[in-house]
Amino acid sequence: MRNPFNIEYSDEQLEQARQQLMDDVRPHVHGEELVTAGRFRRGGFSASYAASKAGGGLAYAAVNLARKKKAGGLPQHVALAVTPTKLYALELKQKGRGLVVKREAAVWDRAGLRISTEQRWG
């Protein structure tokens, strides 16, 4: 993964962050075994920044609405948690210097999902 800030993390720090995320999302997977979890955010910072400078509030809101629609309505910050039978999308909110689980944003049965790494939109 590209690291634009040239921040280096030790294996110990990465494992600690992974374990903290697993602990944070475990209560939200309804007693199922948690296989793995990861944090994600919607992209498009450049477009939002440009809209905020070019037209202010209305342009900024329009860009953010389009980005949210492209993300299937998921929140800006989300944790995806995988169990043997489900995929959970959990909305994250800022708390102090970190993110914590706010609520369940969506849940899908894994058996009904088709997942690909192929990019279909630009």
- 81 pairs with which residues across the strands? 37, 88
Kindly report the average pLDDT of the chain as a whole number.
79
Domain range list for the chain: 31-112
pLDDT band at 94, cuts 50/70/90? Answer: confident
Flag the least confident range among 54-63, 92-101, 110-119. Answer: 54-63
pLDDT over 60 at 49, yes or no:
no
Mean pLDDT value across residues 20-46 = 85
% of the chain at pLDDT higher than 70: 68
Mean pLDDT value across residues 31-60 = 69
| pLDDT tens string 25-37 | 999 998 899 999 9
pTM of the model: 0.70
Residue 21 CB partners (closer than 8 Å, separation 6+): 37, 38, 39, 79
Across the chain, how many H-helices and E-strands are there?
A: 3, 4
**pLDDT number for residue 104:** 93
What b/e string do you get for 22-34 counting C-beta neighbours within 10 Å, with b at 16 or more? Answer: eebbeebbeeeeb
